[in-house]
Structure 1
Amino acid sequence: MSQLVADDSQPHGPQQRHTSLYTDLSRTVRELGMLRRRRGYYWTRIGLVTAAFAGVWVGVGLLGNSWLQLLMAGALALVLTQVAFLSHDGAHRQIFTSNAWNDWTARLLGGVLAGMSAAWWRAKHSRHHAAPNQLDRDPDIGPGVVAFTPDAVARRNGLGTWLAQRQGWFFFPLLTLEGLNLYVASLRHLLRRTATMVERIEAAIVLARLGGYLTVLLILLPVGKAGAFLGLQFAVFGICLGGSFAPNHKGMPLVPATMKLDFLRRQVLMSRNIRGGVMIDFALGGLNYQIEHHLFPSMPRPTLKKVQPIVREYCELHDVKYTEVGLVESYRIVIDYLNNVGLRARDPFQCPLVTQYRN
């Protein structure tokens, strides 16, 4: 039997009704206990990832001066992707009930193992969650090498315009540089003059981790092999991490900077789920349940799959479009959108609620 029932006691004006939508869904999810922490799950994953990280470095030490170290570089990148997912979960406070425990788990996983700043990630990612795909508010569609909006394409000319019209084909090769970009952006945030005391502590952790990483590589390997190891690790890390975020919002509707939407529609209409099984869940770190993650950002990762049928049914009940596609199809959509961002969707997304509000 369905868990969801339309609440006729709620106000019937469009603004009040739309505002109450998320409240009703959130109450149902909370009453079902789906926001309870899954500490056993997370302690197990943290233990396995830490052991895998240590195992890679044992392998690096045993191999010594060999080009087979490139296999270890790839393995390290895959492990660091899983570390980044766990740090992301900690930053969203999905792991523990204590905010401090979550924050320091994110910092230590991100800083000690991955060599990146959780504080920088949280600041950037929180703005994205607050306004996904909203112009001038979502940093993930802001100005950069790739133009994600028609306005960004319009500001280019000559070679820039030519590249923008073909950028979809360059998107995945560019992801090989995303790992390096993440490290640079992380350090810039931590080393700014206005950094807090906690961020300065985090900066010391990150710098020690990166410095130790380079030192170990240069001790074990000649400069050329060390550089190849580092380059491959950054490239694979960038592809894995960037490839897990790209399908979630790229090619979904854009929202004008001044438009106001109720919370449920703001999160659901701009997000895309990726269909798949256990391997997709693992490879994308649970971010394939992007709609559910945006609606309940502090929900433990393994619960997202369980809440999905409830969210999907609720969206269907209230005529809110729920988007879910396969992984290959999602990448096709991203590539097609990026290649045509300057030709299509010249006008930002026009929310169907506008007419109702005006009436």
Structure 2
Amino acid sequence: MEGEKRYISAEELKEHNKSGDLWISIQGKVYDVSEWAKEHPGGEIPLLNLAGQDVTDAFLAYHPGTAWQYLDKLFTGYHLKDFEVSEVSKDYRRLVSEFAKAGMFEKKGHVALFSLTAVALLFLVVLYGVLRCDSVWAHLGSAILLGLLWMQSAYVGHDSGHYQVMTSRGYNKLAQILSGNCLTGISIAWWKWTHNAHHIACNSLDHDPDLQHIPVFAVSSHFFTSLTSSFYGRTLNFDPLARFLVSYQHWTYYPVMIVARVNLFVQTFLLLFSNRSVPDRGFNIMGILVFWTWFPLLVSCLPNWPERIMFVLASFAVTSIQHVQFTLNHFSANVYVGLPTGNDWFEKQTSGTIDISCPSMMDWFFGGLQFQLEHHLFPRLPRCHLRKVSPLVRELCKKHKLPYRSLSFWEANKSTIRTLRTAALQARDLTNPAPKNLLWEAFNTHG
């Protein structure tokens, strides 16, 4: 009966907010996920970021209906006292329910089939261009196509990481390893590790790894205080080198994006060969070895070193469009410091994301991620539905006076550069409490 329920307050729930003592609430029922957090498919970090609070909206966003059956064994017997649901959360949950009843989370269209077919055809054309053609223009064209291949393959990896694009979990995992590790050289395990944290703590300067690019980039002057990254577990030192690089980041932004893949390769190796617990470490390493076998061999088949360098840089340059896109979605959006909170989860997603407007015929090029807010609100929703639900999201944001920003690709670039330039000019201000050195003073003395 109702009177027999046991209750705890929100303040008492907050006390269980660390590894080994990790409680959460879902729809007012309190669960102890301390031990299960280590087995959580999304990793422990998302749970730690939302520990000690109600996480209903986030749970609905990332879990299918079948996940509810696993909660009973984690129930503590407690209910959350004075549990209330905000009006925006009620509307959000209504949309999730409507999408589920319409079967939209299961109806994936043929996006994965078309994408994988396109990737396979592009790979064959690239091989033919390099191995069978002698023209430098054919080699350059092959490099461009390889860059497009990497972009489309990354979208397949992204989709398969958020929802099952294949007929079974086993095939879905195979699609992840092939499209991520084998074809792009970027581990799906690394992607999941960072991407899940990014979604939960969207645009938190100290909890979202997708904003933590010191010493090269800083989107906010908050980084000038040497924030501590809870994700990486280290201080992001704003030293003289960081100040110098950040001071010119609006000029170095695009050149850095061209070689950004190098950093992703490095991050992949650092994770796979670290002492962290990495799911399917062996499969991930095997996939990476496949990439580092075929890609160097392909490049070595080019006739001379100038063409080899051209081939690598051209393919990286094409893929940089995707790296730019990822940053356009968040760099110039609102940021904050601290942990995300479950009771304003919807608001945090709207605040930290920017959509890229484009005609429907370009949806394949952006991989659905031009609807960044829609994707953040409904990460399990296949990309073929994102354009359909966009008007509903826009209407919901308008109703609750929340931002819905949709910029053209050109406008989003300008907005991002403005954000980087603002932080760069602030970094140049010598009154900021950062150490000086002779190199820094020399550059500023001579303009």
TM-score normalised per structure 2: 0.68
Q: Which of 254, 257, 278 is the aligned partner of 2:338?
A: 257
- CA drift of 1:316 comes to 1.5
Question: Structure 2 counterpart of 1:256, which letter?
Answer: V
- CA drift of 1:94 comes to 5.0
| Contact 2:250 2:424 (8 Å CA) reproduced | no
Q: Which of 91, 105, 110 is the aligned partner of 2:161?
A: 91
Partner of 2:407, secondary structure, is strand
Q: Which of 88, 96, 106 is the aligned partner of 1:36?
A: 106
- CA drift of 1:196 comes to 4.2
Q: Which of 91, 112, 129 is the aligned partner of 2:182?
A: 112
Partner of 1:274, secondary structure, is strand
Q: Distance in 2 between matches of 1:313 and 1:255?
A: 25
> For residue 272 of structure 2, what is the aligned residue in structure 1?
190
Judged with a 3 Å threshold, the aligned counterparts in structure 2 of structure 1 residues 319 and 202 are, in CA distance, closer, same or farther, namely same
> For residue 347 of structure 1, what is the aligned residue in structure 2?
none
Partner of 1:325, secondary structure, is strand
| Contact 2:350 2:404 (8 Å CA) reproduced | yes
Residue 223 of structure 2 is aligned to residue 152 of structure 1: yes
Residue 442 of structure 2 is aligned to residue 331 of structure 1: no
Residue 194 of structure 2 is aligned to residue 124 of structure 1: yes
- My pick for the range that moved more, 101-110 or 155-164, is 155-164
| Contact 2:116 2:156 (8 Å CA) reproduced | yes
- CA drift of 1:169 comes to 2.5
Q: Distance in 2 between matches of 1:86 and 1:75?
A: 17
Judged with a 3 Å threshold, the aligned counterparts in structure 2 of structure 1 residues 153 and 282 are, in CA distance, closer, same or farther, namely farther
Q: Distance in 1 between matches of 2:109 and 2:275?
A: 37
Partner of 2:110, secondary structure, is helix
- CA drift of 1:37 comes to 2.7
> For residue 248 of structure 2, what is the aligned residue in structure 1?
166
| Contact 1:65 1:221 (8 Å CA) reproduced | no
Where does structure 1 lack aligned partners over 5 or more consecutive residues?
A: 1-11, 345-359
Q: Distance in 2 between matches of 1:170 and 1:220?
A: 30
> For residue 148 of structure 2, what is the aligned residue in structure 1?
78
> For residue 69 of structure 1, what is the aligned residue in structure 2?
139
Q: Which of 316, 323, 326 is the aligned partner of 1:234?
A: 316
* 1:52-78 superposed Cα distances (whole Å, 9 cap, x missing partner): 212211121111474641221122111
- My pick for the range that moved more, 136-145 or 122-131, is 136-145
Question: Structure 2 counterpart of 1:199, which letter?
Answer: R
| Contact 1:249 1:272 (8 Å CA) reproduced | yes
The structure where helix makes up a greater share of residues is 1
- CA drift of 1:280 comes to 3.7
- My pick for the range that moved more, 188-197 or 118-127, is 188-197
Give RMSD over aligned pairs: 2.5
Q: Which of 102, 116, 119 is the aligned partner of 1:46?
A: 116
- CA drift of 1:91 comes to 1.0
Q: Distance in 1 between matches of 2:329 and 2:166?
A: 26
Judged with a 3 Å threshold, the aligned counterparts in structure 2 of structure 1 residues 34 and 170 are, in CA distance, closer, same or farther, namely same
- CA drift of 1:233 comes to 1.8
Judged with a 3 Å threshold, the aligned counterparts in structure 2 of structure 1 residues 196 and 273 are, in CA distance, closer, same or farther, namely closer
Q: Which of 218, 238, 247 is the aligned partner of 2:328?
A: 247
| Contact 2:247 2:424 (8 Å CA) reproduced | yes
- My pick for the range that moved more, 125-134 or 69-78, is 69-78
Q: Which of 349, 371, 374 is the aligned partner of 1:292?
A: 374
- CA drift of 1:300 comes to 0.8
| Contact 2:146 2:315 (8 Å CA) reproduced | yes
- CA drift of 1:332 comes to 0.5
Judged with a 3 Å threshold, the aligned counterparts in structure 2 of structure 1 residues 122 and 196 are, in CA distance, closer, same or farther, namely closer
Q: Distance in 1 between matches of 2:281 and 2:134?
A: 36
Question: Structure 2 counterpart of 1:132, which letter?
Answer: C
Higher relative contact order (CA 8 A, sep 6+): 1
- Regions of 4+ moved over 6 Å: none
- My pick for the range that moved more, 138-147 or 154-163, is 154-163
| Contact 2:91 2:396 (8 Å CA) reproduced | no
Residue 179 of structure 2 is aligned to residue 179 of structure 1: no
> For residue 270 of structure 1, what is the aligned residue in structure 2?
352
Q: Distance in 1 between matches of 2:92 and 2:167?
A: 23
Where does structure 2 lack aligned partners over 5 or more consecutive residues?
A: 1-81, 227-237, 427-447
> For residue 207 of structure 1, what is the aligned residue in structure 2?
289
Partner of 1:35, secondary structure, is coil
Radius of gyration: which is bigger? 2
Question: Structure 2 counterpart of 1:251, which letter?
Answer: S
The structure where strand makes up a greater share of residues is 2
Partner of 2:370, secondary structure, is coil
- CA drift of 1:317 comes to 1.9
Question: Structure 1 counterpart of 2:399, which letter?
Answer: L
Question: Structure 1 counterpart of 2:396, which letter?
Answer: Y
TM-score normalised per structure 1: 0.84
Judged with a 3 Å threshold, the aligned counterparts in structure 2 of structure 1 residues 188 and 299 are, in CA distance, closer, same or farther, namely same
Judged with a 3 Å threshold, the aligned counterparts in structure 2 of structure 1 residues 200 and 127 are, in CA distance, closer, same or farther, namely same
Q: Distance in 2 between matches of 1:188 and 1:64?
A: 38
Question: Structure 1 counterpart of 2:255, which letter?
Answer: P
* 1:160-204 superposed Cα distances (whole Å, 9 cap, x missing partner): 435424312221111011122112212222222445472222212
Question: Structure 2 counterpart of 1:274, which letter?
Answer: I
Judged with a 3 Å threshold, the aligned counterparts in structure 2 of structure 1 residues 107 and 86 are, in CA distance, closer, same or farther, namely same
Partner of 1:341, secondary structure, is helix
Question: Structure 1 counterpart of 2:106, which letter?
Answer: R
> For residue 101 of structure 1, what is the aligned residue in structure 2?
171
- CA drift of 1:154 comes to 4.7
Q: Distance in 2 between matches of 1:158 and 1:193?
A: 31
